[in-house]
Amino acid sequence: MKPWLASTRTSYDTVAAAYAGQLRDRLDDEPYLRAVLGLFAELAGSGPVADIGCGPGWVTAHLHGLGVDAFGIDLSPEMIAYARRAQPGVRFEVGSMTDLTLRAASVSGVLAFWSMIHVPDCAVPGVLAGFRRVLRPRGVVPIGFHVGTETTLKTSGYGGHPMHVHIHRRTPAVVSALLRDAGFTIEAEILLNPDDRVPGGVVIARAPAAD
Ligand SMILES: C[S@@+](CC[C@H](N)C(=O)[O-])C[C@H]1O[C@@H](n2cnc3c(N)ncnc32)[C@H](O)[C@@H]1O
């Protein structure tokens, strides 16, 4: 495993309980994100859809509640252990978006909410090629991310726990360009909280009708 991937995994293993405790009700305060998830549920149909970098699994569970056959994948075994306890009716597996073991053309959607932020530019094309492989024709990909141009190193978080994880901020235009290079068509670029110090971005892309 690449050192950056190993340190991301260790970091989220360390903070899993604290992260889950602090951000438990996150979606309650995020009407725009809930709207995006509702849109994703409509576009992807009944699924199955993969929530990749699912963390504690609330987004996966929210999709499940919308009638989507959603399952979660995360790099961090501690996050997955938490998600399984918190959401007993939902499937969760340990795995990395850099090396997806899902069958080809097996899902109608791949969601990556604030998880690809930890993948360096050099590895993003391989990740998006993996998304293409596992998606059915016209499959939907919403990617959520921190908007900006800098890469920062987070050395602690969620109550002062040690972390060593890079956060790669990107603009919607850059994320869209990466998706287009991977063969996707862009259907929406959404800018959330543009007055915040670090706005949020969601790009929704669609796989081609057939390869
Ligand atoms: C900031 S959290 C976001 C969690 C969740 N998606 C949410 O929106 O609350 C980032 C998550 O991505 C996971 N992650 C980071 N790199 C990953 C990778 N290569 N493959 C799968 N998950 C990854 C981390 O373990 C962590 O749980």
| pTM of the shown model | 0.96
122 located within any domain: yes
Whichever domain contains 197, its CATH number is: 3.40.50.150
pLDDT band at 123 (very low <50, low <70, confident <90, very high): very high
211 located within any domain: no
**pLDDT the model gives residue 26:** 83
**pLDDT the model gives residue 22:** 87
195 Cα–ligand 1 center, Å = 25
Query: With a 6 A CB cut-off, is 102 part of the ligand 1 pocket?
Result: no
What average pLDDT score do residues 185-208 get?
Answer: 97
Q: Are 97 and 117 in contact (CB under 8 A)?
A: no
Residue the block writes with tokens 């596992």: 134
79 located within any domain: yes
- How far apart, in whole angstroms, are the C-alpha atoms of residue 173 and residue 139? 21
Considering only CA atoms, which residue is closest to atom 22 of ligand 1?
53
72 located within any domain: yes
**pLDDT the model gives residue 211:** 56
pLDDT in tens, 3-57: 999 999 999 999 999 999 888 888 988 999 999 999 999 999 888 999 999 999 9
Q: How many domains does the chain have?
A: 1
Query: With a 6 A CB cut-off, is 55 part of the ligand 1 pocket?
Result: yes
As a whole number, the mean pLDDT across the chain is: 96
Query: With a 6 A CB cut-off, is 114 part of the ligand 1 pocket?
Result: yes
- How far apart, in whole angstroms, are the C-alpha atoms of residue 21 and residue 23? 6
43 located within any domain: yes
Domain that holds residue 102: 3-206
- Rounded to 5 degrees, φ, ψ at 155 are -105, -10
- Residue 8's alpha-carbon distances to 74, 87, 200, 201, 204, in angstroms, are 11, 23, 21, 21, 25
**pLDDT the model gives residue 145:** 98
**pLDDT the model gives residue 113:** 97
63 located within any domain: yes
Query: With a 6 A CB cut-off, is 118 part of the ligand 1 pocket?
Result: yes
pLDDT in tens, 156-171: 999 899 999 999 999 9
What average pLDDT score do residues 163-192 get?
Answer: 98
Query: With a 6 A CB cut-off, is 8 part of the ligand 1 pocket?
Result: yes
- How far apart, in whole angstroms, are the C-alpha atoms of residue 157 and residue 162? 7
**pLDDT the model gives residue 141:** 98
